[in-house]
Amino acid sequence: MTATVKIAIAGLGTVGMGTVELLERHSKLLAARCGRAIEIVAVSARDRSKDRGADISGFDWFDDPVAMARETSADIVVELVGGSEGPARETCEAAIATGKHVVTANKALIALHGTELARAAENAGVALAYEAAVAGGIPVIKALREGLVGNRIERLHGILNGTCNYILTTMRETGRTFEDVLAEAQELGYAEADPSFDVDGVDAAHKLAILTSVAFGTEVDFENVHIEGIRNIAPEDIEYAGEFGYRIKLLGICERTENGVQQRVHPAMVPLGTPLSSVDGVFNAVVTEGDFVGTTVLEGRGAGAGPTASAVVSDIADIAAGRRVPTFGVPAASLTPSASASFEDHVGAYYVRLMVDDQPGVFAEIAAELANHEISIEGVIQRSRSETEAVPVVMTTHETREAAIQEVLAAFARLDAVREQPHMIRIENF
């Protein structure tokens, strides 16, 4: 057995303490599996005296994670501070600059500065590992970079945010509204006090940008992810989705198109019976399509102390055992610019719900607008009737361009009989 691998951990929140607990509980097992003992030598957090439910007095303490990264004798700095700028970024930069490996769970940091950090790490001859940044309970970075290394990946899509999936699942099961379920999720600790990062799709977009880079060998390109969240999903839409044979999920999707790489995060209807349709609650899942392997589905918990610590430790173990992989699958210097495809050129099927006055000729007006934009209808549900209230006209379309659907939605909104902003959800028949 070669020398002990020394670890410094920046950030002792739930994931940090989960990592401490895992490394201590499984120290013998990990030594047998890695061929080397792994030892925590230093930690850094905001408050030294806080009760964390475990003894950290045996580790060197640093008030400043950046100083720790620079000065520690550790071989690996584990960055669990969070945030794309400030101390988190500086901690990683300082570790790389002083020849230490970096393991991070920080999706924002990798999504925004991944290419640059990867170049710095590869130039310094150290690892920049981030399995925990994307769906901690799913070893998806490893699967893409190593397990599916023999494939050209054509498309990848997944449920990448557990908070949104929990909210959508609960809305479906209870018929309650988004606001109502969100409030409950906040009480239960499944959603943050400021939920925007999750429910507006930003967190999923961070993860998608990272996955895209690994899947396609392109520079990380968060800027060009089209992002929509789940705030506008109504209980009625979930119900109609069921009637048409779909479930509504917040998806992250990246694919190679003839116009370039397309990255998008938005609510989508997925057919019942497909793998993602039954991934419920806080679970995440990723579906990859490779030219030799075909479809592979990976499912697991997306967040939480245990799953994230498991991912952090898998990166530590790889480094300890001397297993190295280029940060995004190919050397950072040879990552290609992502040549982003315009979202207007996206072609797909759509679900549209209009709330209209129930008067003669309304449907003819709607049909005329669809015809004007060369959009053909696949299915229609129009059931309820009312002389006083708006009634829903619900339809699904055949494949059409995103630009056409946006134009027709604007045209619908201008019709006198249409009462609310039209509701639209994309249909993904993968």
Of 12 and 66, the one with the shorter C-beta distance to a copy of itself is 12
**Of 26-34, 160-168, 239-247, 390-398, which segment contacts a copy of itself by CB under 8 A?**
26-34
The closest of 247, 217, 168, 254 to 337, measured between CA atoms, is: 217
Q: Is 324 in the site for a copy of itself (CB under 8 A)?
A: yes
Element (H, E) at 393: strand 391-397
Question: Dihedral angle at the C-alpha atoms of 137, 140, 146, 152, nearest 10 degrees?
Answer: 170
Number of residues that bind a copy of itself (CB under 8 A): 62
Out of 177, 196, 257, 295, the only residue in the binding site for a copy of itself (CB under 8 A) is 295
SS3 330: coil
Helices (H) and strands (E) in the chain, counts: 14, 17
Contact pattern for a copy of itself over residues 325 through 364, marking x by CB under 8 A:
xx--xxx--x------------------------------
The first and second tokens of residue 100, run together, are 């230490």
Of 127 and 352, the one with the shorter C-beta distance to a copy of itself is 127
CA distance 134 to 242: 29
Catalytic annotation, pick one of 100, 107, 142, 207? 207
Indicate if 207 belongs to the active site. Answer: yes
Contact pattern for a copy of itself over residues 121 through 150, marking x by CB under 8 A:
----------x----xxxx--xx-xxxxxx
Determine contact, residues 346/405, Cβ cutoff 8 Å.
Answer: no
Q: Which residue has the tokens 């045209």?
A: 411
Q: Where are the beta strands (DSSP E) in 160-235?
A: 225-227
Other beta carbons within 10 angstroms of residue 388's beta carbon come to 6
Out of 5, 7, 34, 393, the only residue in the binding site for a copy of itself (CB under 8 A) is 34
Q: Where are the beta strands (DSSP E) in 225-302?
A: 225-227, 246-257, 260-271, 283-290, 294-301
Smallest separation (angstroms) from a copy of itself to the CB of 155: 15
CA distance 147 to 218: 19
* Subset of 43-62 contacting a copy of itself (CB under 8 A): none
* Subset of 219-278 contacting a copy of itself (CB under 8 A): 273, 275, 278
**Of 2-10, 47-55, 196-204, 323-331, which segment contacts a copy of itself by CB under 8 A?**
323-331
The first and second tokens of residue 383, run together, are 């059931």
| Interacting residues toward a copy of itself by CB under 8 A | 18, 22, 26, 29-30, 32-35, 131, 136-139, 142-143, 145-152, 217, 273, 275, 278, 285, 290-301, 304, 306-307, 309-314, 317-318, 321-326, 329-331, 334
Catalytic residue numbers, as ranges: 207
